[in-house]
C-alpha cells in the first residue's frame, strides 16, 4: 500500500463506506470504544483518519475542540457534509504519517481504523505520539494480529488481496508500538469485535 493507492481506493470507498463500517456491528463497536474514554470537557482532540465522520457523533457532546484529518478528499467531504454547521470541528486534508501540527498540540488523539491502513504504521505512530501532549491519551480501534501468534495460512493467502482494498490484516500492534515504549505506556488492550481481531487500545504519553 502507498498513499497514492490509498487515496484512490478510499475516494472510491467514500459513497459506500458508512454502509459497511459505520453501521450495525461497527457502530456498536465504536460506541464501546468511546465508553469511559478519557475525554474531559474542553479537550483538544485530534481525529486521525476521520473518514466519513463516524466517530464525530461520539465526540460532539464533549464540548471540545476537534481537528479531523484524512488523506482522502472524498471521505473528508462526506464528513464535512454531516457537520457543515459545526463550530467546533475543523477538517483538514493531511497525511497521518507527516502531520503539520506542532509537538504536543492535542490532549487526546483518536486513530480508529487507520493504523492498519497507512503505508508505514510505525511512522504514523511516531507522529501520533509527537502531537500528543505529555500525560495525554491515544485511543485506537483497529484490527491487529494477536500478540505472539503467527499469521495463519489463510490470512497469509488473502492478505495481499485485502491490501488491494486498502487495509492490512496482518499487522502486530506490539511491533508497531515497540520503538516508543519509553514514551508511552499501554493502559488497555480490549477485544471489541470478531473474536478480538478488532481491539480497543488506550495509551498514555509519559514523556
d(CA 58, CA 39): 11
d(CA 15, CA 78): 8
Nearest CA to 205 among 189, 188, 175, 182? 182
Grid cell listed for 9: 481506493
Strands 198-205 and 89-93: unpaired
Q: Residue 9 CB: number of other CB atoms within 10 A?
A: 18
Does this model's pTM top 0.75? My answer is yes
Grid cell listed for 180: 516508543
Residue 6: left (phi > 0), alpha (psi -120 to 50), or beta? Answer: alpha
In order along its 207 residues, the chain shows pLDDT tens digits of 688 878 888 888 788 888 888 888 999 999 999 999 999 889 999 999 999 999 999 986 667 899 999 999 999 999 999 999 888 999 999 999 999 999 999 999 999 999 999 999 999 999 999 999 999 999 999 999 987 777 778 887 888 787 878 888 899 999 999 999 999 999 999 999 998 999 999 999 999
What domains can be seen in the chain, in order of their start residue? 3-205 (3.40.50.150)
Amino acid at each position: 500500500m502507498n498513499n497514492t493507492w490509498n487515496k484512490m481506493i478510499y475516494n472510491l470507498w467514500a459513497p459506500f463506506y458508512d454502509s459497511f463500517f459505520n453501521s450495525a456491528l461497527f457502530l456498536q463497536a465504536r460506541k464501546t470504544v468511546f465508553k469511559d474514554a478519557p475525554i474531559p470537557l474542553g479537550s483538544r482532540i485530534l481525529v486521525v483518519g476521520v473518514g466519513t465522520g463516524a466517530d464525530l457523533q461520539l465526540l460532539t457532546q464533549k464540548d471540545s475542540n476537534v481537528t479531523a484529518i484524512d488523506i482522502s478528499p472524498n471521505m473528508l467531504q462526506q464528513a464535512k457534509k454531516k457537520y457543515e454547521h459545526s463550530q467546533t470541528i475543523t477538517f483538514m486534508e493531511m497525511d497521518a504519517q507527516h502531520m503539520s501540527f506542532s509537538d504536543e498540540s492535542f490532549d487526546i488523539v483518536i486513530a480508529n481504523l487507520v493504523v492498519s491502513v497507512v503505508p508505514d504504521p510505525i511512522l504514523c505512530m511516531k507522529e501520533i505520539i509527537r502531537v500528543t501532549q505529555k500525560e495525554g491519551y491515544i485511543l485506537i480501534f483497529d484490527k491487529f494480529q494477536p500478540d505472539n501468534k503467527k499469521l495463519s495460512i489463510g490470512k497469509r493467502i488473502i492478505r495481499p488481496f485485502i491490501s488491494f482494498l486498502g487495509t492490512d490484516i496482518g499487522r502486530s500492534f506490539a511491533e508497531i508500538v515497540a520503538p516508543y515504549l519509553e514514551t508511552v505506556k499501554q493502559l488497555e488492550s480490549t477485544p471489541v469485535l470478531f473474536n478480538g481481531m478488532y481491539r480497543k487500545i488506550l495509551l498514555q504519553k509519559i514523556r
